[in-house]
Structures are given as C-alpha cells and as structure tokens.
Amino acid sequence: MGIISRCAPMAFALVLVNVLCAHALLLPQVTPPSTKSGASKPAQIIIQTSPNAQVYLDDVFKAQASPQGRLVIENPKPGDHALRITLTGKRDYEQEVAVTWGQVTKIKAMLADLTGTVMVQTSPEAAVYLDGSSRGTTDAKGQLAIPDVAAGSHPLRVTALG
C-alpha cells in the first residue's frame, strides 16, 4: 500500500473538519429574543383596598374588589389615569395613576370611615360624654359640637347640676 492510499483517508478527514468548521462559522446558532421581557407584557394595576369596594378608572366602573380587598386591572392603556374607589360608609379614595407599558403599578388604598359632627343642645355648663369619654362642657347657650364622629350608634351621656 502506498503513501497516497494511506494519507487519503486522513486528508479526507481534514477536509471534512474544515468544511464543517466553515459551515458552523457561516450559520451560527441564534437564540430568538425572549417574549417574557417587560416591554412585551401589558401593564397592570394591582389594588389593595377595603373588601367589596367599587373601583373606577377615568370614571368608568372596572370591577368590585374581592372579599379580601384585592383587584387587578389588566392591560390599562399607558398614560395618566384618574383612579377612584368607593364604598358605602367610607370616604372615597382618589389618586392619579401613571401607567407605563409592561409595568405593574401597585396601589394600597385605605378607605377611611365617614365622620360627622354631633351637635348637643342642653343646659349651659353641662358635661357631655360620648362613647364613655368626656367631650367637654356646653357653652353659655347650652351648645357643644363634637367633630369627627364615625357613622353609627354611640352612647351619649349628658350631666348637669340640678
């Protein structure tokens, strides 16, 4: 067997390796971009508030919060929006919300109890107690205003000399 016949398989193998390497350089493996990036996801507004509160975005009713007080608004349009949350017996919550494409906006909206003023009209210099706490004495006309009283029933006691 001659040198040429012994070298031919080795030469063929070297040519094959060179062709495969050249092919690998010409056709690199490219991983397509992930579709899970923040820019490809729509925006969300996640609200934590009072249970069963009514939620409005730009004065359009969106939904009622869950019994746990949670609501997710899916895919709101990017930009500034007016958020309003209401519930009977509570003070409305209002806030401007800036929505950005692909971002999650979290809002904690605690609804305060509605309050009122209790007006007491009785004898002058009478001591007034509300919910077991002293709230002052009436003036010379027998009047006393008690501000910031939560809605509902409250025990009221008035005492005066005589």
What residue segments make up the domains of the chain, in order of their start? 38-108, 115-159
One of 2.60.40.10, 3.50.50.60, 3.30.930.10, 3.40.50.10540 is the CATH number of 38-108, namely 2.60.40.10
Over residues 73-91, the mean pLDDT reads 95
Residue 8: what pLDDT?
A: 64
- Our measurement of the distance from residue 37's CA atom to the centroid of its chain's CA atoms, rounded to an integer in Å, reads 21
Gyration radius (Cα) of the chain, Å: 37
Predicted TM-score (pTM) of this structure: 0.57
- 136-162 pLDDT, tens per residue? 999 999 999 999 898 889 999 999 988
> At CB < 8 A and 24+ separation, what contacts does 55-62 make?
55/83, 55/84, 55/85, 56/83, 56/84, 56/85, 56/86, 57/81, 57/82, 57/83, 57/97, 58/82, 59/84
Query: CB of 124 within 8 A of CB of 138?
Result: yes
- What pLDDT, on the 0 to 100 scale, is given for residue 10? 63
| Of 9-23, 60-74, 83-97, 120-134, minimum mean pLDDT range | 9-23
Q: Which two tokens stand for residue 82?
A: 């007016």
Q: What angle do CA 85, 89, 95 make, to 5 degrees?
A: 20
Mean pLDDT confidence for 96-113: 94
pLDDT at 22: 54
Output the six-digit token pair for 24: 């690998």
Predicted confidence (pLDDT) at residue 4 exceeds the cutoff of 60: no
pLDDT digits (tens, 9 = 90+) for 9-66: 666 666 655 655 555 544 445 455 554 444 568 899 999 999 999 999 999 999 999 9
